[in-house]
Amino acid sequence: MSVTTPPLQWGGRFSAEPDAELLAFGSSLEEDLVLAPFDVRCSQAHVRALADGGVLPQATVDALTKALDAVAREVSDGSFVAYARKAGAEDVHGAIDARVRDLAPEAGESLHTGRSRNDQIATTLLLYARDRAQTGASIARDIAGAVIARARTALAEGTVFTATTHWQPAQPILLAFWLGAVAENFARAARRFDRVAQDASELCPLGSGACSGSTLPLARASSAAFLGFAGPSRNALDAIGDRDAALDLLHAVTRALIAASRVCEESIIYCTPAFGFARLDDSASTGSSLMPQKRNPDPLELVRGHAAAALGSLTGALASLKGLALSYHKDLQETRVIVLQATERGLRALRAFERAFAALHFNPQAMAARAEEGYIVATDLADALIARGVSARRAHHLVGSAVAQAEHADRNLNRDDLARLATEAKLDVFDAPLDARASIEAKRTSGSTSTTAVAQALDQLEAVLAQPPR
């Protein structure tokens, strides 16, 4: 595919050719290529606004429409990338403009009528944010749905293990309860992505021009409707510099990755021999170039690393905006690059997490054995005392003393401890859970780890995930 049209969209005002190295420094083409399908769509909408506003004759409109349809096909089949690189364009917008002028030389000269790269970029980035937010929501829902399915299996099997706080043994829980907590994180991530997609579909900047609108009668409502926006933006100066949706997209990606990273951290620890609660499939593990015995959970560690990178990118994107006045400034090119790169990497990392977590297999026997250690039913004994009228402070102190005695004797809490507690509290003989499963089933509150509460929570979460995005 040959290049016959200069890719620059400016130059008449200048008496010298641009410095090649500085032009290359200012180019964002490689990072922008991901925007190509959205930029073509943006140009198609602009042609619609020109046509419905009576700005261009129908023959020019038809020629532009035909050329843009051809470029859309080239973007789809991948051939446009080679053209854009060969053209040496500043950005993808200039490359598409140049290609249209190649395909329709006379009509192509009118494609940019009444349009600035400022409103073009702002609109294209919104289309990208909407699309990738929808992708992110789909990934998050896929992860949540798969985890819920695993939770139901674990619930049927009744797998028990120990919840920790401060990484210390805390209370007995069902594995299904832990998996339900994982799923809740990704249900929230899906809703965040949904809100980004909705916000990115509200106001369309196209037709805002460089900063103040246009003297040409552009049919802005037509282009906004063509692109699926609720309507045109209300203030040109604001619209061309607004990057809220792009930042919100990166925020949603970062939050989803942080959720994944926390699960990765816990899973990595559970895979260590010290815990032995889980094992990652060979297909999702790597080995050591030196130590033959090693099985490393690299995908989980890489997702954890991607979360850190996304957080840094989000901070960088926010910082790139903080000192800018209203309107467009070239700094916003860097904002765009940060968002595009971090979003693409982040969404790939979420897909990798989905695959890696599916390859994580739990060891119910090891979990159940550890659930009888660490005096994790102590809270149940205190609750039993409280239910018999003992104050919370006194119950806490009495059970704490019982734990200290049992620990000194290197044994678990037992019925002798219950008898002593009854005597110290001046109660008749009372009962309390002394094993993990009894503790779990003794829970009475909604949202707890009891079998009934977990089943109800999973049903409710599935219903939430089934709701269409608002």
Catalytic residues: 166, 288
- The three-point CA angle 58-63-66 to 5° equals 120
- Burial of residue 74, with CB atoms counted within 10 A of its CB: 0-12 exposed, 13-18 middle, 19 or more buried: buried
| Chain mean position to CA 310 | 10
Question: Tokens 């950005």, residue?
Answer: 91
Q: Residue 204's beta-bridge partner residues?
A: 232
Query: How far is CA 25 from each of CA 21, 89, 90, 312, 461, rounded to the nearest angstrom?
Result: 6, 12, 9, 23, 49
Phi-psi region of 276 (alpha: psi -120 to 50; beta: other; left: phi over 0): left
CA–CA separation, 244 and 230 (whole Å) = 17
Dihedral of CA atoms 222, 226, 228, 229 in degrees, nearest 10, equals -30
Residue among 203, 201, 197 at smallest CA distance from 236:
203
| CA pair distance 93, 75, nearest whole angstrom | 13
Q: Both tokens of residue 104? A: 């329709």
Query: 465 is written with which tokens?
Result: 């995930």
Distance between CA atoms of residues 208 and 395, nearest Å: 69
Helix spans in 272-330 (H): 298-322
